[in-house]
Structure 1
C-alpha cells in the first residue's frame, strides 16, 4: 500500500512539474506584445494548415463537406475525442483553431497525432435497402448523432466520457445507458453501424504516406498533424 502511495505521489509530482514547465514556457512566449503577436501568428498558421488538410481537395480526394464523423488522437493519450457535424467544410476548419470548439483548448493541435474523418453517407450504399430508407426517414442530422453515439460507445474517448458541472468539477457520462436522440435511433441502423466501425478501424491504423501529412481513402481521410509539424514546424 505504501509503495502504491509512493508511486501515486511520484506521478502527481511529475504532473505538477510538467504543468509548471508549461506555464513557464507560456510566460516566455508571451513576454511582450511583439512575442504575443508572434505566438498568435504561429499558432494560427499551424491550425490553418491542419484545417486545410482536413477539408480541401487532395490528390484523388474531393473537398470534405457535408456530414462526417471525426476523431482526434494524441500521442500517449490515444483517441481523445469523437464528434460529428453536418457541415464538415466549416466545422473541421474550426476544429484546430478552437474558436467554437472546446477540444483545442484542452488538447492543442500541435500535439495531435492523427485526425480520422469518415464521410459516412458514402457507406450507405453498402447497407441494406431498408436501412437506407430508415436513414432517409430519420434525416442526416439524426443519423449523424446515432453514428456518433455508436462510435463513442465503442471507443470511450475520455473527453466524451465526462461532463463539466457548474460546481467546477466533472461527472462521468454513462454512454451505454444514454437516452439521447442518437442512442435511441442507433438501434435502427445495425448494418450501417457495422460498416462505420469497420471503416473506423481501417482508418485508425492507416500509416502516413512518405513525405505526406494526409492519407485519403474512398470513405474519408486521415490527417497527421504530428507529421505536419515535423515537416514544416509550427
Structure 2
C-alpha cells in the first residue's frame, strides 16, 4: 500500500497547525474560531429551528463528510446535552478524529416519534425494554446496515485497532433489535429520507419534525473573517 500521499497530507496538516499556533495570540485566535464554529453547530443541532421544537430526549444521530460519507452513528437519551457537545468534543471522541469543520451534514432522528406506527407487540416490547435499551437496539441496526468506519473498529491497549463484527454482536442492543424488526425498518426508512435531504439555499438546517439535518459545511466563514 502506497502511503506517500497520506504521509504528505499529514505533514501539510502539521505544518498548517504550526502556523496557526505560532504564538500565544495565534493560539487564542485558533481556540476562539474553533469554539465559535462548534458552538454554532451545537446550537443548530439542539435549539428550536425552522418551526420545529428544540431537540431533546432520545435520538439517533450520524455524522457525514463529503469524502468518507457516513463516518459515525450514535444514540443518546439526552439530545439536548450530547448533541451540543458533539462538535465541541469535550466528552465525545468524534471531533478529535473528524473535526466539525469537515462535517458535511449531521442527521438526527427522533425515533420515539416512530413508535405509533410500529405494531402493538413491538410497542409493548419497546415499553418494557425502556428508551435506553430501545435506543441501543436501533443504533445497532443502523450501524449494521450502514457500517460507519468509526463504529467498525475499536481501539486496543497495544496502540492499534481491532475490527468489530457488528452483525455478530451480543450486546444488549443487538439482542433486543431482533424483537423489533418493524420499528427497525421504520427507523431505517426515516434515516434514509433524512440522509438524502439537500441543504436549503437560505439555511443550514432542515427539520422534518421526525428528524433534523444540519449542514456545517454551509457555515464556513469567508477568508479573513
What TM-score do the two structures reach when normalised by structure 1?
Answer: 0.94
Find the counterpart in structure 1 of residue 35 from structure 2.
44
User: Is structure 2 residue 181 aligned with structure 1 residue 181?
Assistant: no
DSSP 3-state at the match of 2:219:
helix
Give the Å deviation of 1:154.
Answer: 0.2
Find the counterpart in structure 2 of residue 225 from structure 1.
216
Give the Å deviation of 1:35.
Answer: 0.6
User: Is structure 2 residue 114 aligned with structure 1 residue 123?
Assistant: yes
The 1:219–1:144 alpha-carbon spacing in structure 2 relative to 1, beyond 3 Å, is same
Give the Å deviation of 1:231.
Answer: 7.4
Q: 1:89 aligns with which of 64, 80, 84?
A: 80
Give the Å deviation of 1:230.
Answer: 5.7
Distance 2:142 2:224 in 1: 32
Find the counterpart in structure 2 of residue 4 from structure 1.
none
Find the counterpart in structure 1 of residue 147 from structure 2.
156
Alignment: residue pair count: 225
DSSP 3-state at the match of 1:105:
helix
The 1:27–1:217 alpha-carbon spacing in structure 2 relative to 1, beyond 3 Å, is same
Give the Å deviation of 1:233.
Answer: 8.9
DSSP 3-state at the match of 1:160:
coil
Q: 1:72 aligns with which of 50, 63, 67?
A: 63
DSSP 3-state at the match of 1:212:
coil
Give the Å deviation of 1:218.
Answer: 2.2
The 1:231–1:139 alpha-carbon spacing in structure 2 relative to 1, beyond 3 Å, is farther
What TM-score do the two structures reach when normalised by structure 2?
Answer: 0.97
Q: How far does the alpha carbon of each residue in 1:8-49 deviate from its partner, in whole angstroms, 9 at most, with x for none? A: 43xx11111110000000000000011101100000000000
CA contact (8 A) 2:50 2:205 kept: no
User: Is structure 2 residue 14 aligned with structure 1 residue 23?
Assistant: yes
User: Is structure 2 residue 136 aligned with structure 1 residue 145?
Assistant: yes
Q: How far does the alpha carbon of each residue in 1:74-105 deviate from its partner, in whole angstroms, 9 at most, with x for none? A: 11100000000000000000000000000000
DSSP 3-state at the match of 1:163:
strand
Distance 1:175 1:168 in 2: 21
Distance 2:222 2:196 in 1: 21
Distance 1:233 1:173 in 2: 43
Distance 2:27 2:69 in 1: 31
Distance 1:195 1:209 in 2: 25
Q: How far does the alpha carbon of each residue in 1:176-217 deviate from its partner, in whole angstroms, 9 at most, with x for none? A: 000000000001111100000000110110001112111010
Distance 2:223 2:216 in 1: 10
Which structure shows the higher helix fraction?
Answer: 1
